[in-house]
């Protein structure tokens, strides 16, 4: 099956700093990537959808200037949490979907962000 990786798997950063999370599709070209956030004991909440070479589309209530998404290639998308605060501590999960004719989404293993 298609494999999606994330890096890092966990990160601790200080309040006010920025942190970048990478999402890679390892064996297929992902024209669309999705970023989810999951707080403890809650479900996954979609943050944004990004298409390669285009600006990301953010879900209502998600600050686009705080959560910067770049999808510059067909195998890599990045999420940068800018000026992180403790309330941004969460489990961030990406998923990727292939090109024309491919509608399945494959999920990465997630990145645990802790802001101190």
Partner 1 sequence: DAKTTQPTSMDCAEGRAANLPCNHSTISGNEYVYWYRQIHSQGPQYIIHGLKNNETNEMASLIITEDRKSSTLILPHATLRDTAVYYCIVRAIFGNEKLTFGTGTRLTIIP
Site residues (vs partner 1, CB under 8 A): 1, 4, 6, 32, 34, 36, 43-46, 49, 91, 93, 95, 103-110, 112
Nearer to partner 1, 4 or 30 (CB): 4
Nearer to partner 1, 30 or 83 (CB): 30
Nearer to partner 1, 9 or 83 (CB): 9
Nearer to partner 1, 18 or 54 (CB): 54
Q: In the complex, what is the shortest distance from the CB of residue 17 to partner 1, in angstroms, rounded to a whole number? A: 23
The Cα angle at residue 93 between residues 39 and 115, in degrees rounded to 5? 55
Quick one: three-class SS letters along the chain? CCCEEEECCEEEECCCCCEEEEEEECCCCCCEEEEEEECCCCCCEEEEEEECCCCCEECCCCCCCCEEEEEEECCEEEEEECCCCHHHCEEEEEEEECCCCCCCEEECCCEEEEEC
Q: In the complex, what is the shortest distance from the CB of residue 83 to partner 1, in angstroms, rounded to a whole number? A: 26
Q: In the complex, what is the shortest distance from the CB of residue 116 to partner 1, in angstroms, rounded to a whole number? A: 19
């Amino acid at each position: 099956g298609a494999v999606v990786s994330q890096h890092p798997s966990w990160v601790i950063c200080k309040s006010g700093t920025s942190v970048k999370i990478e999402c890679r599709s390892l064996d297929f070209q992902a024209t669309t990537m999705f970023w989810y956030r999951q707080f403890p004991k809650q479900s996954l909440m979609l943050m944004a959808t990004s298409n390669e070479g285009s600006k990301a589309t953010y879900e209502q209530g998600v600050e686009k200037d705080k959560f910067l998404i770049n999808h510059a290639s067909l195998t890599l998308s990045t999420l940068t949490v800018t000026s992180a605060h403790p309330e941004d501590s969460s489990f961030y999960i990406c998923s990727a979907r292939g090109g024309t004719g491919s509608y399945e989404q494959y999920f990465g293993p997630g990145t645990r962000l802790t802001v101190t």
